[in-house]
Amino acid sequence: MYCLIPKKSEYDLTGGCGAVDVLHSKTQSWWREAKFGMFIHWGLYALLAGEYRGLRTENIAEWIMHDLRIPPREYERLAERFNPARFDANRVVSLARRAGMRYVVLTAKHHDGFAMYHSQVSGYNVAEATPFGRDVAMELRRACDEQGLKLCFYYSQAQDWHDPDGIEENVPATGKNFRRYLDRKCVPQISELLTRYGDIGLIWFDTPMDMTREQSQELYDLVKSIQPDCMVSGRIGHGLGDYMSTGDNFIPLLPRPGDWEVPATINGTWGYNRFDARWKSPEALIRNLVKIVSRGGNYLLNIGPDAMGEAPERSERALEAIGEYLRRGGEGIYGCDPTPVYPYDIPWGYLTCKPRRLYIHVLEDIEEVYLLNIANEPVWACLLADGAELDLVRRTTCEGDSSWRIRMPRSERRPAGQVIRVEIREERPIFEPIRD
Ligand code: JFZ
């Protein structure tokens, strides 16, 4: 698997990000540009909303079947009640688009084994086993096409708590034949998802468990044989994915070359849980996005629609706020490269970059931006929001250190965050190490 211990190059204060260019390929260029996507965890568990027969789950809500030991025959009966009349794919995709997200990842099948699309392989799916009777994946397909977002699918390839031969964490696999599950359900369902829903941006595999390298490779090859441009997530197992997924909600401390993504929640659960109140503030989410992009990653932020098909209002509001930030400062997010380590702690914000551009994300209401040990030659500086030119003073301090000072005109100061673009003569930011 991937190792999160930083490689030597990441400590390099001036470099550490040039190498990524070499890895650029056509398949992944949309994803590298995108930076921000929407995860949708939605399934039968939304009906339980974190509680079953008076018992509340302490864990993430989509694990309730496992955690509260609900027998498959009992859990599957939830399908009889699944009728999310307020689900509107256009509304969900529009929320993602307005948030500035460029791709959507639907849980086509989570560990509970229930398909959120019309599967011919198993009748245990949203179109056939529920009064709702609609194909959620197809509706999202159309909405994504209309609104210009990439559609992607999450697929739990090893864990399947419904199939008698599927794996379940901490449950002995005695008598199970994993090969039979792969042949009967997993492989045919992945094939369906890749043949019947148009171009898929990526398949988000998850929890490989004890899958062998050959089995992971087989699924990887399966995806590429049907859609060569479809990416495969790191959780396919054995380091075979096209990019690395960090642990959920874990953000690498340092810039990290290569392709990676932080899957994250807005609250404390993926699937809908009506008791969860661990909401992150919009400011914290914006900070996470900027932080992740400055270190070279993508942010895959989750919504968990409820049993009526609607995302919690708090999620919607948070996403709107991020969208507002991106409408002002998106140029400093989309398509950015990892920024070399700036040697000082700047509590008020983060730096992102592209060739010949440095973006200064000012996340707090400060009177001036002062950066020490920056050796670039600035061409000009402006606010992304309205293009207003800013006065940048470059000077060598009395101690001999390089520095930039940019005053923030009172009229342009916004508590919600501002992004400054500085055109520089050099290709990359040049941060000088702290003097001995
Ligand atoms: C998995 C799922 O079990 C969970 O329900 C959700 O879908 C999430 C996105 O992915 O949970 C994980 C998997 C891997 C790690 C953490 C949570 N990890 O590597 O740290």
Per-block mean pLDDT, blocks of 10 residues, the chain (436 long): 37 37 66 98 98 98 98 98 98 98 98 98 98 98 98 98 98 96 98 98 97 98 98 97 95 96 98 98 98 98 98 98 97 98 97 98 95 98 95 96 94 83 98 94
Rounded distance from Cα 205 to ligand 1 centre (Å): 10
Cα dihedral value 259, 245, 153, 312, nearest 10: -120
Burial of 22 (0-12, 13-18, 19+ CB in 10 A): exposed
Any atom of ligand 1 within 6 Å of the Cβ of 175: no
For 9, the token pair is: 């190059």
For 143, the token pair is: 């909405």
List all residues 6 or more positions away from 192 whose beta carbon is below 8 Å from its beta carbon. 117, 119, 120, 121
Report yes or no: 374 and 403 within 8 Å, Cβ to Cβ: yes
Q: Which residues pair with 402 in a beta bridge?
A: 396
Task: Pick the closest to residue 81 from 26, 19, 29, 126 (CA basis).
Answer: 126
Report yes or no: 248 and 264 within 8 Å, Cβ to Cβ: yes
Any atom of ligand 1 within 6 Å of the Cβ of 271: no
Rounded distance from Cα 264 to ligand 1 centre (Å): 10
Q: Do domains 11-332 and 349-424 have the same CATH topology?
A: no
Rounded distance from Cα 235 to ligand 1 centre (Å): 9
Q: Given this model, what pLDDT does residue 158 score?
A: 98
Q: Given this model, what pLDDT does residue 2 score?
A: 37
Q: Which residues pair with 154 in a beta bridge?
A: 107, 204
Rounded distance from Cα 263 to ligand 1 centre (Å): 9
Q: Given this model, what pLDDT does residue 411 score?
A: 80
Rounded distance from Cα 372 to ligand 1 centre (Å): 40
Sign of CA dihedral 50, 56, 58, 59: negative
Q: Which atom of ligand 1 is least distant from the CA of 248?
A: 16
How far apart CA 197 and CA 250 sit, in angstroms, is 31
How far apart CA 412 and CA 387 sit, in angstroms, is 11
Probe target for ligand 1 pocket from 60, 248, 262, with the most ligand atoms within 8 Å of CB: 248
For 227, the token pair is: 């859609």
Q: Given this model, what pLDDT does residue 17 score?
A: 36
Report yes or no: 361 and 374 within 8 Å, Cβ to Cβ: no
Question: Whole-prediction pTM value?
Answer: 0.94
For 370, the token pair is: 């002062």
First to last CA, the chain: 38
Q: Given this model, what pLDDT does residue 25 score?
A: 63
How far apart CA 286 and CA 98 sit, in angstroms, is 14
Q: Which atom of ligand 1 is least distant from the CA of 41?
A: 7
Q: Does domain 11-332 have CATH number 3.30.70.20?
A: no
Task: Pick the closest to residue 206 from 183, 185, 191, 186 (CA basis).
Answer: 186
Fill in the DSSP letter of residue 81.
G
| Architecture of the 349-424 domain | Sandwich (2.60)
Nearest CA to ligand 1 atom 19: 247
Q: Given this model, what pLDDT does residue 409 score?
A: 85
Q: Given this model, what pLDDT does residue 16 score?
A: 37
Q: Where are the domains of the chain?
A: 11-332, 349-424
